[in-house]
A and B are shown apart, each in its own frame.
Chain A
Amino acid sequence: MNCEQIAELLPDYLQGSLAREQAHQVEQHCEGCATCAQDVVMWKKLALLPTDQPSPDSRARFDAMLHAYPTTSTDRSGRLPRRALFGTIAAPWAFFDWLRSPLGAVAWSTALLILGVFIGTRVHVGSVQAPPNEIAAMHAELTSMRQLVALSLLQQQSASERLQGVSWSGLEAHLDPQIQSALLHTLRYDGSVDVRLAALDALSRHASQPQVRKGIGDALQEQQSPLVQVALIDQLAEWRDPDAAQRLRNFQQTPNLNPAVRQRAEWAISKLQ
């Protein structure tokens, strides 16, 4: 027999599970083959490794673990002693054991998902059926809150906050009288040119209101900033009010008027005629 054939028998020979005849064949081969013989020697040599004994307190540790287990564990085993105590009374719990298997986990996860979708659909339908007056009340509340925020911001020291206030006031389609008054006041007296221009922009969206048109016309006389003056002139020319031309002529008479502004006023008057 060659080494390859012996290699198939050797593991069983080493464990002593080979028939006597085959064992003899292995031994005969090993007499003439140093490699295989050394393998056998190595196997036998492993017996030199000592057999250790665990320390005596190992059993005590195990007992402590066993004693503490039912109260500290969180898995099903905590219930098992009770099952033993109650015998068949607790047996119905075993019916739910399959829920702990992966298949069970998939099953109850799917059930929960379906339940969630069902509840979600019900809640959604419920919200659609809410009384319309409730929605209207909520909308009114939201509008008044926006106005409050806008008015509050328009009173702030910081120009950027007042600018924010102007943009908040422009969020509503309908211009509240309080907001209108605040914006007109801002257009006339605000210290910042940017804020006044923003207020003009916000007011220009409400051209249908005569008070806004009048307020803008009146503001022209009180403006000192050429930028705002030009913006007001443009706005009046765009609206083509009947008294706009007369207002602009009066404005032209203002002493120390910026030449560019005066020129713009002339252009607007020519356009209005």
Chain B
Amino acid sequence: MLQVRNGEVEMLGVLFDRYQAPLFNFYSKMTQDRTVSEDLVQEVFLRILRYRQTYRPGTTFRTWMYQIARNTRLDQVRKVRPESTLASEPNAPFSLSDSAQHQQEAALLQRALMHLPEDKREILILSRFQELQYDEIARLLGCEVGAVKVRVHRALRQLREIFQQLESGAPGTDLHRGSGDSIPPTRRVQ
């Protein structure tokens, strides 16, 4: 990243190859939308290029990148909120080799995840799928490591409760899906 910062912008391609898949997965789990996720990934790398001078040597690139990714997502939520509909079900791609039960459970999991408030969904995805350590997440969210652990545990417990409700198949189950309002304040990178 230092090379990119010093003007060798072609080196950003190396970072793109390394991080586009994890970043895409972060977004696809957050949004359940492939197209939106791909657009967001492109936007993140455009912002990295645009704001590369704000990258400070000595900081972890991954943490800095996720800060930009969070801000990009926040901006996207603000932009689409008026048109967002809760009725649309996520499009869930599955490999054909998955067993039927696994497919069903994964679909339920995805629905449960989307019913989780945005901040809880985010912290769970960051800790479970993005291979970020708690101290990295703490730096990213600007809070204490202990607070991150508590929030991860609470998010997991709420997810389990939602999952169990969905699994029990109560048709009238009133689950409040998370919204952008629950996103905690964050330090802006750019």
Contacts and interface: CB of A to CB of B under 8 A. Distances in A.
A73 to B, nearest CB: 7
A97 interface: yes
Interface residues of A, number: 40
Interface stretch (A8-16, A170-178, A185-193): A8-16
A54 B45 CA distance: 14
B93 A50 contact: yes
Interface string B83-105: 00000000011110010001001
A53 B7 contact: no
Contacts of A39: 153, 156-157, 160
A66 B49 contact: yes
Interface in A62-79: 62-63, 65-66, 69-70, 73, 75-77
Interface string A1-34: 0000001101110110100000000000000000
A48 B38 contact: no
B109 A50 contact: no
A122 interface: no
B33 to A, nearest CB: 11
B128 interface: yes
Interface stretch (A80-88, A149-157, A241-249): A80-88
Given A54-B24, A65-B46, A66-B13, A76 B53 contact: yes
B127 A15 contact: yes
A62 B13 contact: yes
Contacts of A52: 24-25, 28, 34, 37, 93
Contacts of A84: 6-8
B70 interface: no
Contacts of B53: 76-77, 97
A54 B38 contact: yes
A55 interface: yes
A124 interface: no
Interface residues of B, number: 53
B168 to A, nearest CB: 14
B22 to A, nearest CB: 9
B46 A49 contact: no
A48 B159 CA distance: 14
A10 B153 contact: yes
Interface string B101-116: 0100110011001000
Contacts of A97: 53
A48 B133 contact: no
A66 B10 contact: yes
A58 B41 CA distance: 9
B94 to A, nearest CB: 6
A69 B9 contact: yes
Interface in A176-227: none
Contacts of A66: 9-10, 12-13, 49
Given A49-B110, A50-B95, A55-B38, A7 B153 contact: yes
A12 B28 CA distance: 25
B176 to A, nearest CB: 19
25 contacts: A11-B152, A14-B127, A15-B127, A17-B133, A39-B160, A42-B163, A45-B105, A45-B109, A48-B102, A48-B106, A49-B129, A52-B34, A53-B21, A54-B21, A54-B37, A55-B34, A55-B38, A58-B20, A58-B24, A58-B41, A61-B42, A65-B45, A75-B50, A77-B53, A80-B7
For the complex of A and B, 6 pairs with smallest distance between CB atoms: A84-B7, A11-B149, A42-B160, A80-B7, A54-B24, A48-B106
Given A43-B156, A66-B10, 8 more contacts: A12-B134, A14-B128, A49-B113, A51-B25, A54-B20, A54-B21, A62-B42, A66-B9
Interface of A: 7-8, 10-12, 14-15, 17, 38-39, 42-43, 45-46, 48-55, 58-59, 61-63, 65-66, 69-70, 73, 75-77, 80-81, 83-84, 97
Interface of B: 6-10, 12-13, 16-17, 20-21, 24-25, 28-29, 34, 37-38, 41-42, 45-46, 49-50, 52-53, 92-95, 98, 102, 105-106, 109-110, 113, 124, 127-129, 133-134, 148-150, 152-153, 156-157, 159-160, 163
